[in-house]
Amino acid sequence: MKVYTKTGDKGTTALFGGTRVPKDHARIESYGTVDELNSHIGLIRDQEMNSHYKEILIEIQDRLFTVGAILATPPEKEVLKNGELRLKKLGIIESDIELLENEIDSMEEALPPMTHFVLPGGHTTVSYCHIARCVCRRAERLAVHLSHNEPVAEIAIKYLNRLSDYLFVLARKLSHDLKATEVQWIPRK
Ligand SMILES: Nc1ncnc2c1ncn2[C@@H]1O[C@H](COP(=O)(O)OP(=O)(O)OP(=O)(O)O)[C@@H](O)[C@H]1O
């Protein structure tokens, strides 16, 4: 099948299960932003770093496809005609969130305590982490927005919330490992 089916040329597209919606629907905004986040994480993974981080980032990218699939499935299409769940093997589970928490904890153990805010930047890899963190927070906001009108699996929102914390700590850890120069935020008195 060709990439361009042309079915989306008039500004609508299909969700999982076939329901057509306008391309600026809250559901498309939310999983489109998860897709954007996933590409930013790819950019982080393409930088020079310890292979452990790369392995974790690959795992996160895989999970984000799942988050996207969850967000792309409207409630009326969650259950197939034969009674089985459409996303039966794709779920985000608590251990996916625990993995992020464990990574955060072990990176923090190797870092001095945070005593001040640091301006984003200092090294290209660190900046990529901060951009990904901000895109992650936007994806979270859009998923929360969607959840005001339609049911959204709580665990998908929880995953995005923990992921932005992970990206923040990853930025700090890589800044530390790379001996990047940090510029403190000095609020005016
Ligand atoms: N502008 C967009 N932003 C975010 N997601 C989109 C956008 N357009 C399509 N999608 C989603 O991306 C996936 C692939 O879509 P696809 O490229 O087939 O888009 P389409 O515009 O509906 O079709 P086509 O490009 O063949 O006309 C689908 O899940 C679709 O809902």
71 sits in the region (left: phi over 0; alpha: psi -120 to 50; else beta) called alpha
Amino acid type, 21: V
The full DSSP string for 8-61 is TTTSEEEPTTS-EEETTSHHHHHHHHHHHHHHHHHHHHTSS--HHHHHHHHHHH
Other beta carbons within 10 Å of 100 = 22
pLDDT digits (tens, 9 = 90+) for 94-134: 999 999 999 999 999 999 999 989 999 999 999 999 999 99
Reported as a single tens digit per residue, the pLDDT across 131-158 is 999 999 999 999 999 999 999 999 999 9
Burial of 157 (0-12, 13-18, 19+ CB in 10 A): buried
Measured distance CA(157)–CA(69) in Å, rounded: 13
Ligand 1 pocket, residues with Cβ under 6 angstroms: 4-9, 13-14, 23, 28, 32, 72
ipTM here:
0.86
Q: pLDDT tens digit string along 36-64? A: 999 999 999 999 999 999 999 999 999 99
> Class for domain 20-181, per CATH?
mainly alpha
Choosing from 13, 35, 77 the residue with most ligand 1 atoms within 8 A of its CB, the one to mutate for a pocket test is: 13
CB atoms within 10 A of CB 59: 14
User: Which atom of ligand 1 lies nearest, measured to the CA of 6?
Assistant: 27
User: Is the confidence at residue 87, as pLDDT, over 90?
Assistant: no
Q: 13 C-alpha vs ligand 1 centroid, how far in Å?
A: 6
For residue 175, what is the DSSP state?
A: H
pLDDT of residue 40: 98
Instruction: Kindly state the average pLDDT of the residues 57-83.
Output: 91
Nearest in space to 125 (alpha carbons), one of 57, 180, 162, 166: 180
Identify the three-state secondary structure at position 78. Answer: coil
Structure confidence by residue, pLDDT tens digits, 5-25: 999 999 999 999 999 999 999
Residue 136 CB neighbour total at 10 angstroms: 28
- Ligand 1 atom closest to the Cα of residue 2 is 26
Ligand 1 atom with the shortest distance to the CA of 12: 22
Determine if residue 6 is left, alpha or beta; phi over 0 gives left, psi from -120 to 50 gives alpha, anything else beta.
left
Residue 81 in tokens: 């005609």
Residue for token pair 């990176």: 107
